[in-house]
Amino acid sequence: PAVTAGTAPARLHLRVERQTLSRLPESGAVLFTIRTRQAALAEVMAVPGAAAALAEAVRGLPETVAAYRGIAPFRAALLAALDRVAPPR
């Protein structure tokens, strides 16, 4: 089912990718790696500092990026939930 503004935060998960480029010493070739991490949003919200950091990141997304990532329809609801845990300064 599609995620909407009415979707409970407990049903959402966060997925983060860390991409790196490393030059291999012997060959000089470049190695591209991706490390993905996933967590239930409830786990993130259990740590106020993590909730605040996620809220800051979501607020900083340009609208086009939020739409591309699929969070535009529930962005306001997500921020409201995060702000209840860690109010913005």
Backbone torsions φ then ψ of 36, nearest 5 degrees: -110, 145
Which pLDDT band, with edges at 50, 70 and 90, does 1 fall under?
A: low
* pLDDT tens for each residue of 13-65: 999 999 999 999 999 999 999 999 999 999 999 999 999 999 999 999 999 99
Query: Is residue 68 domain-resident?
Result: yes
Q: What is the pLDDT of residue 15?
A: 93
Count: domains in the chain: 1
* Mutual angle of helices 75-85 and 48-60, in 10-degree steps: 150
Query: Is residue 1 domain-resident?
Result: no
Query: Is residue 80 domain-resident?
Result: yes
At 25, list the tokens.
Answer: 């010493």
Instruction: Judge contact between 63 and 72, C-beta under 8 A.
Output: yes
Q: Which amino acid is at 35?
A: R
Query: Is residue 2 domain-resident?
Result: no
Domain of 46? Answer: 9-85
Q: What is the pLDDT of residue 5?
A: 73
Does the pLDDT of residue 73 top 70, yes or no? Answer: yes
The pTM for the full model equals 0.79
Query: How far apart (Å, rounded) are the C-alpha atoms in residues 73 and 5?
Result: 6
